[in-house]
Amino acid sequence: MRILHTADWHLGKRLDNFSRLEEQQAVLAEICRISEEKKVDMVIVAGDLFDTFNPPVEATELLYKTLKKLSRNGKVPVIAIAGNHDSPDRVNVADVLARENGIIFIGHPTDKVAEFELEEGFKIARSEIGFVEFKLPEVEFPVRLIHTAFANEIRLKEYFGENKQLSLQESLARKWQQSAGEFCDEKGINILTTHLYMLKRGGEILEEPEGEKSLNIGNADVVYSDAVPASVQYAALGHLHRYQDVGSNQPVIYSSSPLSYSFSEAGQQKYVAIVDLEPGATARIERIPLQSGRRLERKAFDEVEKAVSWLLENPDTLVELTIESGTFLTAEERKTLFQAHDGIIFLIPKVRSATISDRQSNVEINLNQDMETLFKEYFQSRNKGQVPNEELMSLFNEIRNA
């Protein structure tokens, strides 16, 4: 069988005040095309469906329409779990209607999926808390899925039950191992999906993207991939936005977000994972690069003219632009930059330090000088020797003479 694994859609996300809705529409349409072309048997969306607990209407509509298209009228099961940006109750609210279209929402780590069968579609043959078994129309063997939606401190207390002293690592390892031991053998496909901050034990510490709600707080919420049961052939993760395998004994994959959502992700290629599985065999993974969306760039120039030239040559980008020069940017220079490109998200003027020492502030001031000279000297003392430009001096004189 073949699954498509994606995550961290963050529908409704904005980059500062810049809407990403059109890009999200384009990249989700691309994911739908990949799913159809690759003839996948199952789709997993591993959390952070939305960017906020209360997403805008257009984000909600985009989610439902996309998942319905991915399900191909109930022939392909689509499993969408809640991430740390999602309201679990909002995720679950459409579950009854969604099931009629082959979509299974899982909002809480303690959720039990209702058993049902779709005409000319798939069947849920068995369901327990945190576990579901599928019978797919064109797959001879059972497909088992261990699932754990994101759990914050409140949800974890519910998840842990009476034994609240167990660490997150110990609790999840026990729960997953219990499900795997009871339901997962080599006669079927065994998958796990969750939305967590997971690392390979002894491996590098992975950075969370800028703007992401951190799950790595003092390592208390870190889960190591050796908690994944040995019988699980593929673990589909969400939370980190770069494609990476953190597995110790089997593929434990962050598929990446479909778009770059912060400038810490500038230059990253985004993917979906296509995974071929058969009982008792190692998963075969193909990374499909996504082409939709505007590229994020962090650029720095020492001249406005150089910046304008680059901006005109790279219109299909979103830019964090730094201009480092010996003078402050004038209003006309700012206007020129923004007229050259519609995707400047942040413009950062950086004035080079002058050679005058900060100790010059201790030099005696001649108060007999005219007001304009005094202002220039004061400005230099507060700005490491930087001389005020003509625009600033004109503004000063305008205020002075008002």
Sign of CA dihedral 25, 235, 280, 75: negative
Q: Residue 58, Cβ neighbours under 10 Å: how many?
A: 14
Same domain, 111 and 216: yes
Same domain, 161 and 49: yes
Q: Residue 142, Cβ neighbours under 10 Å: how many?
A: 19
Same domain, 235 and 301: no
Domain boundary among 289, 322, 342: 289
Task: Please state, in angstroms and as integers, the Cα–Cα distance from residue 89 to each residue in 54, 237, 288, 360, following that order.
Answer: 11, 21, 32, 62
Same domain, 283 and 300: no
**Helix 21-37 / helix 57-71 crossing angle, nearest 10 deg:** 10
Give burial (CB, 10 Å; 0-12/13-18/19+) of 85.
buried
Same domain, 30 and 161: yes
CA nearest neighbour of 324 among 292, 300, 289: 300
**Helix 168-183 / helix 153-160 crossing angle, nearest 10 deg:** 50
Domain boundary among 289, 322, 346: 289
- The pTM (predicted TM-score) of the whole model is 0.84
The position carrying tokens 């909600």 is 60
- Helices and strands: H and E segment counts in the chain: 10, 20
Residues 45 and 239: their CA atoms lie apart, in Å, by 11
Give burial (CB, 10 Å; 0-12/13-18/19+) of 189.
buried
The position carrying tokens 């069988």 is 1
- Number of domains present in the structure of the chain: 2
Residues 276 and 34: their CA atoms lie apart, in Å, by 14
Give yes or no for a contact between 47 and 8, defined as CB atoms under 8 angstroms apart. Answer: yes
Token output for 35: 């799913």
Same domain, 19 and 150: yes
Same domain, 235 and 322: no
Domain boundary among 242, 273, 289: 289
Question: Domain containing 328: what range?
Answer: 295-400
Sign of CA dihedral 170, 175, 176, 181: positive
- The CATH number of residue 208's host domain is 3.60.21.10
Same domain, 106 and 14: yes
Same domain, 301 and 284: no
Same domain, 92 and 38: yes
Same domain, 306 and 273: no
pLDDT in tens, the chain (402 residues): 999 999 999 999 999 889 999 999 999 999 999 999 999 999 999 999 999 999 999 999 999 999 999 999 888 999 999 999 999 999 998 888 899 899 999 999 989 999 999 987 899 999 999 999 999 988 999 999 999 999 765 556 566 555 555 677 888 899 999 999 999 999 999 999 999 999 998 888 887 777 666 665 545 567 899 999 999 999 999 999 999 999 989 999 999 999 999 999 998 999 999 999 999 999 999 999 999 999 999 999 999 999 999 999 999 999 999 998 877 788 899 999 999 999 999 998 887 765 444 444 455 566 667 788 888 888 877 776 777 888 888 888 888 776
Same domain, 240 and 207: yes
